[in-house]
């Protein structure tokens, strides 16, 4: 699988860095000097002090980034999302999975980024358009901290493929089964709030119960 990640900010770069060791990944950056830094293994503008995987390639050419890609990941800020996607639109097959990393809504339309995507790509398969959300912090994830993300997409098979593509990623149960995860987790949070258990114990219990729910 080949992935094109559009947007070399902190989150776009982090997601690209997670994907690159497992599948061919090209990251699009607006500026030549930033692309050169990324190709050299760093992103000093957004992620100073972190090393990027040598497998990650960067370019300022949208066509080169998307050429041959099976998947498009959009990490452009909301105010520039539409214009960049319009540049990419002629290069995208109607069935290509598109995942938005972008927070916020478009002004003044108040559209979410998945809605902007559908608005720009009128003939695109909407079941292949989705969004990834956290809460996540790019620097923590690059540092190897544990994190959970949610991918919202109608096509569950594609969503699970995304989850498995990231470094150390694995899919969680879908919505109908999530009660078995969040119920026990909520009990631990309540115990912590009521001072019945300490934070370390609550986290250990929660992790054990979530793992049991996923495996079971």
Residues 121 and 46 in one domain: yes
Q: What percent of the chain has pLDDT over 90?
A: 58
Residues 19 and 123 in one domain: yes
CA atoms of 79 and 84, how far apart (whole Å): 10
Residues 120 and 210 in one domain: no
Report the pLDDT value the prediction gives residue 87, as an integer from 0 to 100. 96
Kindly give, in sequence order, each residue whose CB lies less than 8 Å from that of residue 113, ignoring residues fewer than 6 positions away.
Answer: 74, 78, 81, 100, 102, 105, 106, 131
Q: Is residue 170 included in any domain, yes or no?
A: no
CA atoms of 206 and 123, how far apart (whole Å): 43
Residues 192 and 119 in one domain: no
Residues 73 and 95 in one domain: yes
Beta strands in the chain (DSSP E): 2-6, 24-28, 57-59, 71-74, 98-100, 129-133, 150-152
Question: How many folded domains does the chain comprise?
Answer: 2
Residues 180 and 160 in one domain: no
Q: What is the pLDDT of residues 156-201, one digit of tens each?
A: 888 877 776 665 655 555 544 455 556 666 777 777 777 777 888 8
Residues 31 and 116 in one domain: yes
Q: Is residue 171 included in any domain, yes or no?
A: no
CA angle (1 as vertex; 175, 155 as ends), nearest 5: 25
- Per-residue DSSP letter, 23: S
Q: Is residue 210 included in any domain, yes or no?
A: yes
Report the pLDDT value the prediction gives residue 190, as an integer from 0 to 100. 76
Q: Judging by DSSP bridges, how do beta strands 2-6 and 24-28 pair with one another?
A: parallel
Arithmetic mean of pLDDT over the chain: 87
Query: What's the pTM value of the predicted model, to 2 decimals?
Result: 0.78
Residues 91 and 136 in one domain: yes
Q: For residue 166, give both structure tokens.
A: 């990231």
Report the pLDDT value the prediction gives residue 182, as an integer from 0 to 100. 61
Residue 153 binned pLDDT confidence (cut-offs 50, 70, 90): confident
Q: Quick one: which of 214, 137, 215, 162 has its CA closest to 22?
A: 162
Residue 46 binned pLDDT confidence (cut-offs 50, 70, 90): very high
- Select from 145, 165, 185 the last residue of a domain: 165
Q: What is the pLDDT of residues 24-43, one digit of tens each?
A: 999 999 999 999 999 999 99
- Full residue range of the structural domain in which residue 92 is found: 2-165
């Amino acid at each position: 699988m080949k992935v094109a990640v559009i947007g070399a900010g902190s989150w776009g770069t982090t997601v690209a860095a997670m994907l690159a060791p497992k599948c061919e990944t090209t990251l699009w950056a607006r500026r030549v000097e930033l692309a050169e830094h990324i190709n050299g293994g760093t992103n000093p503008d957004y992620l100073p002090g972190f090393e990027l995987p040598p497998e990650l390639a960067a370019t300022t050419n949208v066509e080169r980034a998307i050429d041959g890609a099976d998947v498009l990941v959009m990490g452009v800020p909301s105010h520039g999302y539409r214009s960049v996607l319009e540049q990419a639109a002629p290069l995208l097959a109607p069935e290509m999975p598109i995942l938005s990393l972008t927070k916020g809504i478009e002004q003044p339309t108040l559209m979410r980024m998945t809605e902007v995507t559908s608005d720009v790509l009128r003939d695109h398969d909407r079941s292949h358009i989705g969004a990834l959300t956290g809460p996540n912090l790019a620097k923590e994830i690059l540092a190897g901290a544990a994190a959970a993300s949610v991918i919202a997409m109608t096509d569950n098979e594609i969503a699970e493929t995304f989850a498995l593509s990231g470094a150390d990623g694995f899919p969680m149960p879908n919505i109908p089964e999530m009660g078995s995860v969040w119920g026990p987790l909520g009990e631990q949070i309540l115990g912590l709030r009521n001072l019945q258990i300490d934070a370390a114990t609550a986290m250990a219990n929660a992790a054990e119960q979530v793992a049991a729910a996923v495996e079971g």
